Chains A and B, each alone.
Chain A
Amino acid sequence: MAELTRPTALGAPPAAGQPQGPGASPGRGASGPTRWVLRLVAVVYVLVLVVLPLVVMVGRTFEDGLAAFVESVTSPEAVAAVTLSLQVAVQAVVVNTVFGVAVALLITRYRFRGRGVLNALIDLPVSVSPVIAGLALILVYGRNGWFGGALETLGVQVIYSVPGIVLATCFVSLPLVVRELVPVLDEIGLEQEQAGRALGANAWQRLWRLTLPSVRWALAYGVVLSLARALGEFGAVRVVAGNVLGSTQTMPLLAAQRYADLDESGAYAISFVMVAIAILCILVVALLRPRDHR
């Protein structure tokens, strides 16, 4: 464990009763044939399900050469799709992060009527089909929906426009930050915050100096999951975006459309951009995360 190999301050010998890092006990886990079978199953499963299709797709992407790929991803509609996707994803992730932190704190730090219901409702977006989410949003924000008319007289168009896409993306990625934070907040408990209060820190200082740093890895993970989900969301966005070329077409929509238009290499090219962004996200988290975490 990194904790144990780290040089001690000023070369002082570790004191007696030095806590051992987790997993320091030898012989953890199964040994012998069980371990090899488990490993084989895991590796084969991931290979067949994830790696193989991705590798084949990457192969297809560059089948027609690099020039064709570059041309395909720099076409005006591809650039517009990438820009829109990033724009939507950033907005949705920011909203989702603020909301996620607030709700996770609410659920773990307070006891109130309706807490159980709130807790259950948070999971709803991942349980229902994204298409339903899109349709529901149209019912509320569409031209003939509850708020749609009123918003339109104010000059705000939600459905078939960017705000609708952001809304749909927020909806489908709603639980991702909350669900990462709640168990960590439960685990760290209240004592550190109480200690902070007794030491004179106000609520804002406790949030920024104690709570958020304590949950930073869970938060980073939640943000990356949200970002990946936001970039990749198809169903809900498809319903509310209307797929207007060059204005409400996100990367997944463009990929699907190119595929439907029999432009397979174009579809693979844009897919490759999405995969690359996803892998980049995972790498960033892996690099940010300290080695002694978990």
Chain B
Amino acid sequence: MGIQAQHIVKRFGDFVALDDVSIDVQSGRLTALLGPSGGGKSTLLRVIAGLDHADSGTVWIEDREATSLPPQARDVGFVFQHYAAFKHLSVYRNVAFGLEVRKRPKAEVRRRVTELLELVHLDQFADRLPAQLSGGQRQRMALARALAAEPKVLLLDEPFGALDAKVRKELRDWLRRLHDEVHVTTIFVTHDQEEALEVADELVVVNRGRVEQVGSPNDLYDRPANEFVMEFLGPVTRLGGQLVRPHDLDVFADARPGTVPARVERLQRVGFEVRADASAGAERFWLQLTPGQVEALELSPGSPVWVRPARGAATIASSASATPADRAPEGAFDRASAGSSS
């Protein structure tokens, strides 16, 4: 059951977009394909939908081999980043489209569309054209449209990517609640690790055409399989040749077992967190502290401190030539704040 893509290979000329990728998505769950832009996650989604064809490999959708089926025969709902609204049709007709092309009776179409428009809170806007809706409304319309013909799976390609931050966050929560109501097997593609960690039941981290790791959000955050996953899912810094999350460091004003002596270089407060740049010998790293910690330890630039990874902290031996230790992926800052507060 669910969706299985097996040994998918897809090349665009010399560029290998998908290099023998296999994923197994369970029925009824919300799975995120997470990875950097150009990593192959959208291509994988399009292969599953049938909008792109793999050079080799097979696709199974709910126990049916779909590899050679055209998209219209796959029973999938697909939502595009830029909505792909049918501009000449009203919101109602957009949502009704999948039912009308299947020649469902008028009464059934009306009932189903009305129900869906209520579900996505667009029942007041049924007669409008897509151009008269805001971005978030258009995307909700696209979701209702994709759900109309009761697809076996719902595929969302960066569904919130074109929306501004506030609307994105609202829609994200809304998608989570919608999924809890509808329970359709869903895959959504995102490059935003915060979005993936918050919404998905399961994450598949895709990078350079390969799957890096699969697991629950907590699994991946706490037990990343490799440096890439660790760096991509949240902020990291490097201490004593190890990658560690900057909020997973214990700081003391005196030497303790297992600590490394260091010196505070700079303190910068951002909202309710304090970012402390520090150096241990030639090594530079950073810590994420609370204003309370800074006060209790009486830290100021130049203070000596002793630092060690907290118990149970995720650490990975760092390869020397890796990216600078204080590099944090896009949006990681927000994620770190959310993580430390929970």
Binding site for B on A (CB under 8 A): 3, 6, 8-10, 12, 14-19, 188, 191-192, 194-202, 205, 209-210, 213-214, 216
Chain A residues closer than 8 Å to B77, beta-carbon distance: 198-199
Chain B residues closer than 8 Å to A192, beta-carbon distance: 84-87
B side interface size, CB within 8 A: 44
Q: Which of B128, B145, B149 is A9 in contact with, Cβ under 8 Å?
A: B128
Going nearest first, the 6 A-B pairs with the smallest beta carbon separation are A198-B78, A195-B84, A199-B98, A191-B84, A17-B134, A197-B71
Q: Which of B78, B84, B101, B148 is A209 in contact with, Cβ under 8 Å?
A: B101
Provide the bound-state CA to CA distance between A91 and B29, in Å: 57
Smallest distance from the beta carbon of A5 to chain B beta carbons, Å? 12
A195 touches B78 (CB 8 A): yes
- How many A-B residue pairs have C-beta atoms within 8 angstroms? Tell me: 99
Residue of B nearest to A19 (CB): B131
A199 touches B146 (CB 8 A): yes
Please tell me if B126 contacts chain A, counting CB pairs below 8 Å. Answer: yes
Question: Contacts A198-B51, A200-B102, A200-B149; is A15 near B97 (CB within 8 Å)?
Answer: no
Chain A residues closer than 8 Å to B155, beta-carbon distance: 198
Q: Which of B76, B100, B127, B131 is A3 in contact with, Cβ under 8 Å?
A: B131
Please tell me if B172 contacts chain A, counting CB pairs below 8 Å. Answer: no
- Name 6 A/B residue pairs within 8 A (Cβ), A-sorted: A9-B128, A19-B133, A192-B86, A198-B50, A200-B73, A200-B98
Of the candidates B101, B142, B149, B164, the one having the most CB atoms from chain A within 10 angstroms of its own CB is B101
Chain B residues closer than 8 Å to A3, beta-carbon distance: 131-132
Q: Which of A10, A12, A198, A201 is B49 in contact with, Cβ under 8 Å?
A: A198
Additional A-B contacts beyond A192-B87, A195-B84, A197-B70 (11; CB < 8 A): A9-B128, A17-B135, A192-B84, A194-B80, A195-B78, A195-B80, A197-B72, A198-B77, A199-B77, A199-B145, A200-B72
B149 touches A199 (CB 8 A): yes
B137 touches A15 (CB 8 A): yes
Chain B residues closer than 8 Å to A216, beta-carbon distance: 88
Chain B residues closer than 8 Å to A205, beta-carbon distance: 101
Smallest distance from the beta carbon of B168 to chain A beta carbons, Å? 13
Provide the bound-state CA to CA distance between A9 and B137, in Å: 14
Question: Contacts A197-B51, A213-B88; is A9 near B126 (CB within 8 Å)?
Answer: yes
